[in-house]
Structure formats: C-alpha cells, structure tokens
Amino acid sequence: MSRSLQQAAANSAGGSIDYRLARERVVQAYVSGEATRSEVCDAQSELMRNAHACGQSADRPCPICHEVDVVELTYVFGPRLPASGRCMVTAGDFERIRRRKGRFTAYEVEVCPSCKWNHLLSTRPVS
Ligand SMILES: [Zn+2]
C-alpha cells in the first residue's frame, strides 16, 4: 500500500471524498519537474501484487509513463478486516461486506502495473 492510501485510511470518517484534483496536482508536479518519478511511482509490493491480481483496466493511459493503461482497485477498510484493507474483486465481495455490522469505507485506487504510479481516486462509505 502507498503512503497516500495509508494517510487516507487514517482519517476514514465521513462521506464520499473525491481525490482527483489532488491526483492532478501530483501529475502536474511530476510534469513540471517538482516531483521525481520515484516519488510519484511508489506503489509497494502488496499493492502491485493486487493490481496484477484484481485490478480492473481503467481504459486510460498512465499519466506518468504513458506506456500502459492504469488499473483500478477497490480496498475496503473496517471492523475485522486486515489493517491494510481487503481488495474487492466481485460484486459478491461488496455484498458480503454490506451484510456485516459496522462502518466500512471503500478506497478506490489507481495503479500503473508498469511504472508503479499510484493514487487514491475516491473514498466512500459502503452502504
Ligand atoms: Zn505508468
């Protein structure tokens, strides 16, 4: 998991939040030379593994390397789930979460399977 995702997970209360503007700022920082590739392409090994295993192609090119399409992953955090969240693969996965007691939050993340670019796209309550 990336640093940005861990920070977001730390303050997971509240409703839906869109992180696409923050994502644009990071992309612009890279394009303008303020941020290096290793700073913005920092997906850790577990996130990369999940990107390959259960990422859904987002049909848009990676904003950093432009070599491949990014994939989207959804992690859910909440009671009795792993501290690093659980990767959702099918609609049935969400159904099982909805049947549980407690508050759960879904984190939609964009990952490049090639250069390790990653960014949070949105967070929303699972309901
Ligand atoms: Zn890339």
* Between residues 3 and 44, the one the model is more confident about: 44
Alpha carbons 79 and 61: distance in angstroms, whole number? 35
Task: List the shell of residues around ion ligand 1, using CB closer than 5 Å.
Answer: 62, 64-65, 112, 114-115, 117
0.75 surpassed by pTM: yes
Q: Determine the distance separating the centroid of ligand 1 and the alpha carbon of 111, expressed in angstroms.
A: 8
Q: Determine the distance separating the centroid of ligand 1 and the alpha carbon of 115, expressed in angstroms.
A: 4
Which pLDDT value is given to residue 14?
Answer: 63
51 backbone dihedrals φ, ψ, rounded to 5°: -60, -40
Q: Determine the distance separating the centroid of ligand 1 and the alpha carbon of 112, expressed in angstroms.
A: 5
Would 31 be classed as within a structural domain?
yes
Would 108 be classed as within a structural domain?
yes
Q: Determine the distance separating the centroid of ligand 1 and the alpha carbon of 91, expressed in angstroms.
A: 27
Would 8 be classed as within a structural domain?
no
Alpha carbons 21 and 97: distance in angstroms, whole number? 29
Which pLDDT value is given to residue 127?
Answer: 83
Q: Count how many domains the chain has.
A: 1
Which pLDDT value is given to residue 41?
Answer: 98
Would 118 be classed as within a structural domain?
yes
Q: Determine the distance separating the centroid of ligand 1 and the alpha carbon of 118, expressed in angstroms.
A: 9
pLDDT tens figures, 13-40? 568 999 999 999 999 999 999 999 999 9
Query: Is residue 52 pLDDT above 70, yes or no?
Result: yes
Apex CA 86: angle with CA 88 and CA 1, to 5°? 110
What residues make up the domain containing 100?
14-125
Confidence of residue 84 (pLDDT cuts 50, 70, 90): confident
| CB-CB contact of 113 with 48 (8 Å) | yes
Which pLDDT value is given to residue 55?
Answer: 93
What is the chain's alpha carbon radius of gyration, rounded to the nearest angstrom? 14
Q: Determine the distance separating the centroid of ligand 1 and the alpha carbon of 61, expressed in angstroms.
A: 8
Would 52 be classed as within a structural domain?
yes
Would 49 be classed as within a structural domain?
yes
- Other CB atoms within a 10 A radius of the CB of residue 82 amount to 10
Would 29 be classed as within a structural domain?
yes
Would 47 be classed as within a structural domain?
yes
Which pLDDT value is given to residue 9?
Answer: 55
